[in-house]
Structure 1
Amino acid sequence: MTFNTIPAAVRAPWVAVEFDSSRSSQGSTEMPYAALIAGQKTTGTWAANTYHRVSNADQVAVGAGRGSQLHRQARAWFRNNTTTELWVGVLEDNASGVAATCTVTVTGTATENGALSFRVGGQLVQVPVAAGDAQNAVAANTAAAFPSVSDLPVTGVAATNVVTLTSRGKGTWANDIDVRLNYSDGEKTPAGLTVVITPMASGATNPLLTSLIAALGDKWFNIIVHPYTDATSLTAIETELARRFGPMTMIDGMAFTSAAGTVADLTTLGNSRNSPHSCVVAQPGDNPLTPPDEFAAAVAAVAAFHGAIDPARPFQTLPVVGTLQPAEADLFTFEERNGLLYDGIATTRTAAGGIVQLERLITTYQTNASGGPDRSYLDVTRLLTLMYLRYDFRTTIQGKYARHKLGNDGGRYASGQPIITPSTGRAEAVAWFRRHEAAGLVEDFDQFLADLVCERDTNDPSRLNWYLAPNMINQFIFGAAKISFID
């Protein structure tokens, strides 16, 4: 018998007892989830290109500025997930960046009491109006109302009868901040007034992600949220996650972002990408109220929470709390959403009561290295399941056989010798499969057993090789039935 810590050369009378925990862990390993939200600051105490663990959105308001992009993303996350370990990565505006702006032009004089009910990035801003209020006064009151609503993504300044709204951060993402009037039933502009809103525009030049990515080092994040859909940002994230996915790194993760626009806009975006590590989520319509940066954080929070429970279970029907349904006329049809799912864009839908739900979370991966269609990494669940299966196999082998010797089968080794053999490794692989079969992550044991190989490397006697071919469980996505009735 071999001991781990009791020495062999002891002559003094003694009874020594050591503990060995290598067999104490039974069943599957629990995979700890950690998430990162990357977003821009406005003020605050945190330096750019640093990352910080947080437990509530108020901490982000202090560190990155209240109403900053990062603060709003954190609020969206915590509405949907308060359990996953969360970190935030701090970015600052690009020195060449440009803020987005829009104008609200008020004309006329109110002839009745009422209110102007704006939605800015989905948040309600109400401006009281009294009969007799002229356009310049209404515009001034409108600009004054914005600071009273905390955490808005814009600031407002009035000049005569025109209010100019400016995004709190700079970049193309700010062009998707929605500004509208009279979204809810019963809201109307007081008689005598006319209000014209020009959409947010002219935002340009997002921050570069490279410095933040470098600062992360090899800190493991299962879920990464970012607000950008420009090619430079997407390539930086995809390249880093491809590195992390490799067998010598194995700190794999899934990136989430969101995009707004028409079906044609989203189709063009989806077909420009091809990464199994990136999920671009569309809202249910082309003119969404919830800013895409917030929507991405909310969706990722849902995926992180439920993916940690069961990485193979589909996300469809799960609500995205704190997000608003687009106007009825702006909703995508079933055919449009189905088309997006063939173009690398994940989809959401609305249920009764205006509840926004996940429909299908897919990656942008569409073709293999030869350019042929490939659905191997279509669903986010496939990546999350693979991440978990690899983590559990690696953790099991490292935990039980960290300081073992490697021998051939058939050797007459004394009982208790820390030796692993090919047959032992094969048995571990079988047990690994059976655990995950019971958990509903894999299926078809006979096929797995027939394909399984565990052998000593012919060139390196200190190396044991496994060939594992689990049949991954699939999701129930579509049901088809024919009712052939008889009259």
Structure 2
Amino acid sequence: MSGSISIPNYPANNRVPGFYFALDATKANTATPGRRVLAIGQMTGGAAQPNVAAISAGLADAQGKYGASSQCAHAVKRYRQIDTVGELWVLPLADDTAAKAATGGFVVTGTAAVAGTIPFYVGDRLVPVPVNAGDGGATITANQVAKAATMPDLGVTFAVSSNPIASTITAANKGLSGNDIQLGVALLGAAGGESIPAGLTVTISPMAGGTQNPTTLAAALAALGDKSFDLIFHPYNDTASLNVIQAFLSDTAGRWRPTNQQFGHGITAVRGTLGTVTAFGVTRNDQHHSIMPISDSPSSPLAWAAQLAAQAAVSMRDNPARPIADLALAVLPPSLTGRFTFDQRESLLFDGLSTHRVDDSGTVWIERLTTTYQTNALGAPDDSYLDIETLLTLQVAIQDMKTFFGTQFSRMILVDDAAKITAGQPATNSKLARAAIVSRYRYQCAQLWCQDADGFAAAVVVRNAGGGVLQCLLPFRIANQLRVVACNVQFTKP
């Protein structure tokens, strides 16, 4: 066999006798990219600097850095209820200087005929207030405000107002997200041990008046630099914020463009009736974002987004092609009348929105996580990017192929296919590169990310375009997810 063997860092003209060994790790690399999740939210104070992402060291750390009642602390808390070990980062935003905080409140009237407890709710957080027989609205309101003061992580502040006597509730963070904070009373009903003592009536003023989400979102995302995040969850469902994240992740100028390859996928939730959310869904068309309608669930859109991202992250680490479905969320379900029916969920899935279901115990389960992508550049219906698993699987497969190729072919000489390359020489051609790509694709099929290795091998094209450039056509055939089993029950009666 002619030709020379290239030995890293060894001088070919050495004359000193001995045995010399160089280490070459190009065949040993089995590492995979680190998996990170980014939570975006607003801060209320603390020691952190706005618009600067930092790794999360847990709930206490988040409360100290961003404020106990902040969206950031709330995001960390809800995410860690499911994913306790994954790498989580937080990108804190300051309230916009032009923003207003949402407000609402409770009015308690009458006189308690018996002692008991009023189970007030802020979102899905219970604020239990004791009641003695003979207590009226003024006493109960004062006790309610005092109780809320002992719960600094509610996401709101309570104050007593007059004419009529009531508790005024103000969102801790200014902006549109405060309007999504649900106020309730005795949400679990008598079956759940909750009721309003006889003689009393509670009237709720829904949260409203919050305006202007942070306009620093684009700058904060740009400041992330080249750090990759697989999933990005947040509380925003306004057009301006969603457009910023869409541009940040886009295929043409964002993190999915070929010259960037930072990837990432956005997750959020939206509150509203079927008509409201479907009208919203058809306005979005982004394959890099998933949005879950939550109807009238007491839990906030941020809580839903955090839990969805946590389940998606755990599933992605297991296998990106595995369906992110039939996974439970630690959120309160919509009311019985607010739960979307089969036909309504079918409609949502054709309007760029994801779906969930609720079982008889009230547990919420992910049913299907879709993206908002609905039409192609020509405006024709397109289901290419219907499911989130498609994007997650492509991301992992591309990252794996990039790592493999970058390790195996780093600092290679590129020659034409007719050139003779002997063993050990740091050179390759399009045929060898093609064979390596096919080999790696077979590995990806063994991981069940992809399928039809023989079909891939027959269709892949690798071309030496000259000037040190290899052009490749990689016909990835990614795995599907089992979603529907349709059976014809053909029975007999012997």
Query: In the alignment, what sits opposite 2:277?
Result: 266
Query: In the alignment, what sits opposite 2:303?
Result: 294
Equivalent residue of 1:244, what SS?
coil
Out of 108, 117, 120, which is 1:115 matched to? 117
Out of 13, 20, 41, which is 1:16 matched to? 20
Equivalent residue of 1:423, what SS?
helix
Query: In the alignment, what sits opposite 1:419?
Result: 427
Query: In the alignment, what sits opposite 2:214?
Result: 207
Query: In the alignment, what sits opposite 1:485?
Result: 491
Q: Tell me if structure 1 keeps the 8 A contact 2:448–2:479.
A: yes
1:192 and 2:199 correspond: yes
> How far is 1:364 from its partner?
0.5
CA distance in 2, matches of 1:444, 1:134: 72
Equivalent residue of 1:80, what SS?
coil
CA distance in 2, matches of 1:359, 1:200: 29
Query: In the alignment, what sits opposite 2:40?
Result: 38
> How far is 1:34 from its partner?
0.8
Q: Tell me if structure 2 keeps the 8 A contact 1:31–1:308.
A: no
CA distance in 2, matches of 1:239, 1:21: 38
Query: In the alignment, what sits opposite 1:181?
Result: 185
Number of residue equivalences: 480
Q: Tell me if structure 2 keeps the 8 A contact 1:107–1:194.
A: yes
Q: Point out where structure 2 has 5 or more consecutive residues left out of the alignment.
A: none
CA distance in 2, matches of 1:233, 1:217: 19
The Cα offsets for residues 68-97 of structure 1, whole Å up to 9 and x where unpaired, read as 111001100111112221110010111111
CA distance in 1, matches of 2:161, 2:376: 56
> How far is 1:14 from its partner?
4.0
Query: In the alignment, what sits opposite 2:321?
Result: 312
CA distance in 2, matches of 1:414, 1:339: 61
CA distance in 1, matches of 2:268, 2:422: 56
CA distance in 2, matches of 1:413, 1:31: 32
Equivalent residue of 2:23, what SS?
coil
The Cα offsets for residues 432-481 of structure 1, whole Å up to 9 and x where unpaired, read as 22112222222223322221111211xx2411222110222111111111
The Cα offsets for residues 355-403 of structure 1, whole Å up to 9 and x where unpaired, read as 1111101110000001001111110000000101110111101001101
Equivalent residue of 1:165, what SS?
strand
Query: In the alignment, what sits opposite 1:228?
Result: 236
Q: Tell me if structure 1 keeps the 8 A contact 2:273–2:338.
A: no
Query: In the alignment, what sits opposite 1:470?
Result: 476
Q: Tell me if structure 2 keeps the 8 A contact 1:37–1:225.
A: yes
Equivalent residue of 1:207, what SS?
coil
Q: Point out where structure 1 has 5 or more consecutive residues left out of the alignment.
A: none
> How far is 1:48 from its partner?
1.1
1:446 and 2:432 correspond: no
TM-score by length of 1: 0.96
Q: Which amino acid aligns with 2:405?
A: I
CA distance in 2, matches of 1:8, 1:352: 75
CA distance in 1, matches of 2:455, 2:287: 26
Equivalent residue of 2:47, what SS?
coil
Query: In the alignment, what sits opposite 2:70?
Result: 68
CA distance in 1, matches of 2:408, 2:193: 66
CA distance in 2, matches of 1:312, 1:232: 31
CA distance in 2, matches of 1:410, 1:171: 65
Q: What does 1:28-427 correspond to in 2, within 5 Å?
A: 30-160=32-162, 161-184=165-188, 185-208=192-215, 209-242=217-250, 243-283=254-294, 286-320=295-329, 322-427=330-435
The Cα offsets for residues 298-341 of structure 1, whole Å up to 9 and x where unpaired, read as 11111011112110111110111x31122222211111111111
> How far is 1:142 from its partner?
1.2
CA distance in 2, matches of 1:467, 1:93: 47
Counterparts in 2 of 1:413 and 1:432: CA distance versus 1, 3 Å: closer
Q: Tell me if structure 1 keeps the 8 A contact 2:421–2:428.
A: no
CA distance in 2, matches of 1:147, 1:336: 41
Q: Which amino acid aligns with 1:103?
A: G
RMSD value over aligned CA atoms?
A: 1.4
The Cα offsets for residues 76-128 of structure 1, whole Å up to 9 and x where unpaired, read as 01111122211100101111111111121111111110011012110111000
> How far is 1:182 from its partner?
0.7
CA distance in 1, matches of 2:422, 2:441: 29
% identical equivalent positions: 35
CA distance in 1, matches of 2:482, 2:421: 49
TM-score by length of 2: 0.95
Q: Which amino acid aligns with 1:174?
A: G
Q: Tell me if structure 1 keeps the 8 A contact 2:463–2:471.
A: yes
CA distance in 1, matches of 2:360, 2:203: 31
CA distance in 2, matches of 1:265, 1:307: 31
CA distance in 2, matches of 1:68, 1:171: 12
The Cα offsets for residues 412-436 of structure 1, whole Å up to 9 and x where unpaired, read as 3332111112221111121122112
Q: Tell me if structure 2 keeps the 8 A contact 1:40–1:91.
A: yes
The Cα offsets for residues 13-66 of structure 1, whole Å up to 9 and x where unpaired, read as 44321100111136xx53321111110000100111111111311111000000
Deviates more, 1:9-18 or 1:384-393: 9-18
Q: Tell me if structure 1 keeps the 8 A contact 2:69–2:152.
A: yes
- 4+ aligned runs moved over 4 Å, structure 1: none
